[in-house]
Structure 1
Amino acid sequence: MGNPASEIPFNNSRFGTLGVEMEWMCVDGDTGLQIPAAPQVFSVVGDTPRIKPELFTSIVETNTDIQFSTADAMSQLADLYAEVEAILENHNAALLSSGTHPISHWREQVVSDDPRYYKLLKRLQWVARRFNICGIHVHVGMPDGDACIKAMNHLLPIMPVFLAISANSPFWHGEATGLAASRIKIFEGLSQGGMPFYFSDWKDFEHCTERLTATGSIKSVRDIWWEMRPHPDFGTLEVRIGDMPARFADSAAYVAYVRAEAMAAAQDFVRPKVHPSLIRENRWRACRYGMRATIIDPFTEELVPMLDWLERRLDQLADQGIAASELDLVKSQIGHWRNNGGGAESQRELFNTTDDFSAMIRAMRELDGWSR
């Protein structure tokens, strides 16, 4: 297993650099239904790494360059949003930020004209066909593979909090699921989906990847779709667990918090190893209750409201030297989250107020805070 062919080069990055990917649904400006409007966007923007196609022609992905702060990343994402929105407006369409579409069905979505997507569908079948979900992916630069693995190990117990503060998918095909983050239940159905594992070092991760490749389970490291994974080509740790947050301010807080935790995790010499059964339970609580979850403190095993835990955690991160400008983006949202909850609560409240999905989706777009 340790022969040179199994080596995976990690393209070292400047520590703490940042990249963000956001997946947006294209919706009709009147009905709010998901529509295959992405080709209209690409006919204008062409082939660019900043605005990219996804599995379905009703989804557009926007990606930042390498950034050095959350504020700069969010500024670029806002510019990309404005560029895509301006194109869609000419087709009576718009962008929607949600982990799942409240009513549109996956069966109605058109697959993008790309051979790799058809290969994916042929391999994964019904699981991939249902993959009409949108998330936010945060890349944090790591100096080497071992640092990346250490950060991933240390972040495993924190991952449920990432899910809780982004939870924004309470509806699925017009049904109130009772979950704050139903998207995660679709995401985990992938052959290499779900939570990652503890690894001893980068070489251990290489061995895992080699086993999966040798057995025909994956073709490359890119086929590993865990909710957090190393990205050796970029030299980053990529956190993928989050729903597309409801609002601009929620997205900024999410990105800042993920970046802060990843940087602290890479620098901590040691943290206690938390049993996966506890992490899995907290992940379920975040999926079910989102912002309102009572979690098991992974380090003391005490029951604590998630937002109380997060407030205390931000103070600890400040003591570890994480920049106040980053932590303030998270702290500024705590009061809002306490009073209003997150995206899942907002969607439910809007539906209860309007009792009409089309009106609810229009209200979601009006309140998302992305237009400047």
Structure 2
Amino acid sequence: MSADSSTTGKSGLRLPTVGVEEEFILVDQLTGHPVSRNRDVAAAAARRGLDLDLELTSCQVEVATSACATGQELLAELRELRTVVAEAADEVGVAVIAAGVPPTVPDHFPITDTDRYRHIGQRFGMLAHEQGISGCHVHVGVSDRDTAVAVSNHLRHRLPILLALSANSPVYRDADTGHASWRSVLWSRWPASGPPPHLRSREHFEQLVSMFVASGAILDDHMVYWDIRPSDHLPTVEIRVGDVQSRADEAVVVATLVRALVMTAVHDIASDLAPPIVDSDVLAAAMWKAAHDGIDGDGIDVVTQQPVSAIAQMESLVTDIRPALDALGEAALVEAALDRLRAEGNGATRRRDWFAQKGTGRDIVESAAREFTG
């Protein structure tokens, strides 16, 4: 994603750019098992003019969009990127899927052969070798790092419903995990992961990062894996709570909601409105509940500390950010997505239904491959 640019709409709300990073899993076309071919696929993609990023495990690649001004622009770019990746994978004889975890996996994943990734593998052991998990990271342009830190405080209480919405990893090791987002459960084992703490200032954020690095808990700034963080290389706030989405249009819905949430937070910050006070233990319980139930069950309202259905939480969120959605011209997109969620559920719903019918991770891989460029 390129540098931040923005305009101001008629409502007075700033209209920031938005970009998405998606991590994908390379799998054998016959067995559905992850395969260590990310360098080969990256080379094939480069011949098509696309530079892929290599992830920690050698069965993964990552794409990143540019800074987009509209949801339609973002959708077109995501579909183009996915098409190129699928063609490159097919050229080298593998398939590619967008799933939070590989539905069928070996005992461990080979580490991509770079100095940094080898160091992570040596330092973090089985955490790294059991990786192979894929997220959807949304970058929204902000004016500076101080704003990014303030936005993080304003969005902490929204993390559970964003996780429930984006859940897309219920099947792992050929089994229903009992969780809509098993990716988030695996990811929570890393240091500096999960919801960030309430940050008093940019300096507080930087002090925490320095402490993590100096203690050896993380190797560098890029290993701050919190669900919201100021980007370490872009003028953005990065929301990274979600599983990668099966379809590009679902990724655009997640990105649009995040973009509108950031716009609303920036407006509230400018109006001197304080963020909600959220108890960390309640937030942790709400995150687990969201990972377990996804969009189909109940969640926890971390402000009232009361149970509430995930769909009701989504409806409340959309109401709260309606001015931002109207300013973006994306309200109809989000309302249509809400209708689909009520009727069909999300990626985790589909995965679990398919697994119940077919009973193998291989069938989940096939269905995910069909949806990849849709």
Which TM-score applies when normalising by structure 1?
A: 0.89
Task: Find the aligned partners of 1:365 and 1:266 in 2 and give their Cα distance.
Answer: 38
Q: Cα 1:77–1:319, aligned 2, differ >3 Å: closer, same or farther?
A: closer
More displaced 10-residue stretch of structure 1: 219-228 or 323-332: 323-332
Q: Give the % identical residues.
A: 26
- Letter of the 1:72 counterpart: E
Aligned partners of 2:233, 2:309: CA distance in 1, in Å?
A: 38
Structure 2: distance between partners of 1:50 and 1:155: 32
Cα shift readout 1:229-285 (whole Å, capped 9, x = no counterpart): 111430111111111122222211111111111221122132321211221121111
Residue 257 in 1 paired to residue 260 in 2? no
Query: AA paired with 2:373?
Result: W
Cα deviation digits, residues 219-238 of structure 1 (max 9, x gap): 43222111221114301111
Aligned equivalents of 2:99, 2:3: Cα separation in 1: 33
Amino acid in the other structure paired with 2:245: P
Residues 25-77 of structure 1 show CA distances to partners (whole Å, capped at 9, x for unaligned) of 11222332222232222223349885211112211111112222232222112
Deviation of 1:327 (Å)? 3.5
Q: Is the 8 A contact 2:33 2:106 kept in 1?
A: no
- Post-superposition Cα deviations, 1:270-313, rounded to whole Å, max 9, x if no partner, equal 23212112211211110100012322323344432111221132
User: What amino acid is the match of 1:148?
Assistant: A
Q: Equivalent residues in 2 for 1:117-196 (5 A)? A: 117-196=117-196
- Counterpart contact for 1:53–1:60, Cα < 8 Å: yes
Give 1:56's aligned residue.
Answer: 57
**2:18 is the alignment partner of 1:14:** no
Higher mean alpha-carbon deviation, 321-330 vs 17-26, is at 321-330
1:354 equivalent to 2:358? Answer yes
Secondary structure of 2:193 counterpart: coil
Contact 1:50 1:64 in 2 (8 A): no
Aligned length: 359
Task: Determine helix, strand or coil for the equivalent of 1:111.
Answer: coil
Q: What code does the residue aligned with 1:127 have?
A: L
Residue equivalent to 1:78: 79
Change (3 A) 1:89 1:214: closer
Partners of 1:320 and 1:90 in 2: CA distance: 43
Question: How big is the shift at 1:22?
Answer: 0.3
Aligned to 1:95: 96
Change (3 A) 1:203 1:12: farther
Match of 1:229, SS state, is strand
Contact 1:260 1:326 in 2 (8 A): no
* Residue 175 to residue 270, structure 1, CA distance change in 2 (3 Å): same
Report the AA paired with residue 366 of structure 2. R
* Aligned position for 2:10: none
Amino acid at match of 2:142: M
**Structure 1 residue 331 displacement after superposition:** 1.9
Matched, 1:280 2:280: no
Within 5 Å, which residues of 2 pair with 1:40-51? 40-46=40-46, 50-51=51-52
User: Partner of 1:102: helix, strand, or coil?
Assistant: coil
Q: Structure 1 residue 106: deviation in Å?
A: 4.8
CA-CA distance at 1:12 after TM superposition = 8.4
AA partner of residue 352 (structure 1): A
Conserved? CA contact 1:29–1:92, under 8 Å: yes
Aligned position for 1:336: 340
Residue 309 of structure 2 is aligned with which of 302, 305, 308? 305
For residues 168 and 318 of structure 2, the distance between their equivalents in structure 1, rounded to whole angstroms, comes to: 22
SS at 1:60's partner residue? Answer: strand
Task: Give the corresponding residue for 2:114.
Answer: 114
Aligned to 1:34: 34
Contact 1:29 1:93 in 2 (8 A): yes
- Equivalence for 2:197: 197
Q: Distance in 2 between matches of 1:175 and 1:83?
A: 31
User: Corresponding residue for 2:373?
Assistant: 370
Asked if the contact 1:296–1:304 (Cα under 8 Å) also holds between the matched residues in 2, the reply is: yes
Task: Kindly state the Cα deviation for residue 314 of structure 1 after the two structures are TM-superposed.
Answer: 1.1
SS of residue in 2 equivalent to 1:323:
helix
